[in-house]
Amino acid sequence: MNNTLQLPPIPAVVVGLCSHGLAIARALALQGVEVHAIEARPELPGVRTSLAKVHLVPEIRARGLIDALLHFRKQHSPNLKPVLFLTNDNMVADIAAAWEELGDSFRLSWSASRSEVNALLSKTEHERLSGMTNCLYPINYSLARIGAANELAESLPFPVIAKPAKPLSSFKTAMANDSRELETLLRSHQDALPILAQKFIPGGDERIHFCAVYLRDGEILARFDGRKLRSRPMGHTTVAEPCDADDVYETTSRFFSATSISGPASLELKRDKDDSLWVIEPTVGRTDFWVQVCISNGVNLPWIEYCDQVGLPIPQTAPKKQYVWVNTERDPKALLFTTAGMARGSIARRRLILPYFQAGDFRPATKATAAKIRRNISSRIRRDH
């Protein structure tokens, strides 16, 4: 706990208690912040945390999210404006659209730049901003109908990466090796149209870098450089490590310098065989799912954001290289992949961080472990029958 600062009595409100939201809540609570968490799914392990006051609500999407926040303000700390933390892109879009209703009740790091934040949620904007800042961006085409798959072969060689233009659609990222695979993908995900088909930059997950930052009007106040080691399924990071890379930071700084965005953000880049960096996608309005790798390695982004919003000095950070984050919740094989890589020397030997496990807050891990055992038993019973 932070004992060097006299904290103002301003609470934080974290929306969503997936392992990402739990990491944010713990990072703030361990600094002495009063943390409230709003969640609609009582089965999540994170609701068992002892480090935040959990409020279960009927819904945290669309209008349900806005109503839940307004109800919270009527019931709790009516004379204070809590700092709001979000955990997915749909929440960011919902809050951006409804900020006129919420602005008198909450503090939000990117409230003054919400139009830019909202625009960057769409992947169609990424190419435009990359071009403005001389960042490399893969050739891509927007496919709005199934028949466009056959036409693409004349313009873009396969394999291609396919991504929905809108966040949190029915899939995140997929690869198509030919027009038939792409057509099948489009047919299976018509609800996600338009879908971007993008040139594939060769190389494995280990060539994907990221730089997580905290911004004020486009200026970087804090940073953490990292690298993906594994993504399962494609696009979902399940192993991440610290990895200093000044060219990654320089590209990230250049990308966001063309904006007036404030708040948490990150840029994901892929390094090609010639060491050039290609923009994969930015994240704005929230931290990424792998934020725990930043927190554990000395860059507590939620705490930095809180301090900025309540008028405390921005904490000075000293990034470390002690921990690798392993998301066993989404990818049970990630732990074996990581430990085997450490044994072979292909992954640096570091301490492991797992979802839900935290000294002094054991109940989420207990619940997660019990749920995993039940799923394994159910799966074996189904196979046996």
- From first to last of the 385 residues of the chain, give the pLDDT tens digit: 555 567 889 999 999 999 999 999 999 999 999 999 999 999 999 999 999 999 999 999 999 999 999 999 999 877 889 999 999 999 999 999 999 999 999 999 999 999 999 999 988 899 999 999 999 999 999 888 888 888 887 788 899 999 998 877 888 899 999 999 999 999 999 988 989 999 999 999 999 999 999 999 999 999 999 999 999 988 899 999 999 999 999 999 999 999 999 999 999 999 999 999 999 999 999 999 999 999 999 999 999 999 999 999 999 999 999 999 999 988 989 999 999 999 999 899 999 999 999 888 999 999 888 877 776 666 566 666 5
139-199 and 205-353 in the same fold: no
Closest CA to 186 of 151, 138, 136, 219: 151
For domain 205-353, which architecture applies?
A: 2-Layer Sandwich (3.30)
Q: Where are the domains of the chain?
A: 12-108, 139-199, 205-353
Can you read off the two tokens belonging to residue 334? 């990630």
pLDDT at 250: 98
pTM over 0.75: yes
In which order are the strands placed within the sheet that holds 277-284?
277-284, 263-271, 208-216, 219-231, 237-242, 323-326, 351-353
- What is the distance between the alpha carbons of residues 73 and 211, in angstroms, rounded to a whole number? 34
Question: Alpha carbon 242 to chain centroid distance?
Answer: 16
Sheet holding 140-143, edge to edge: 140-143, 195-199, 160-164, 174-176
Domain boundaries 139-199, corresponding CATH code? 3.30.1490.20
CATH number 3.40.50.720 is the correct assignment for the domain at 12-108? yes
Cβ(353)–Cβ(323) under 8 Å? yes
H-helix or E-strand spanning residue 372 = helix 363-384
CA distance 104 to 196: 38
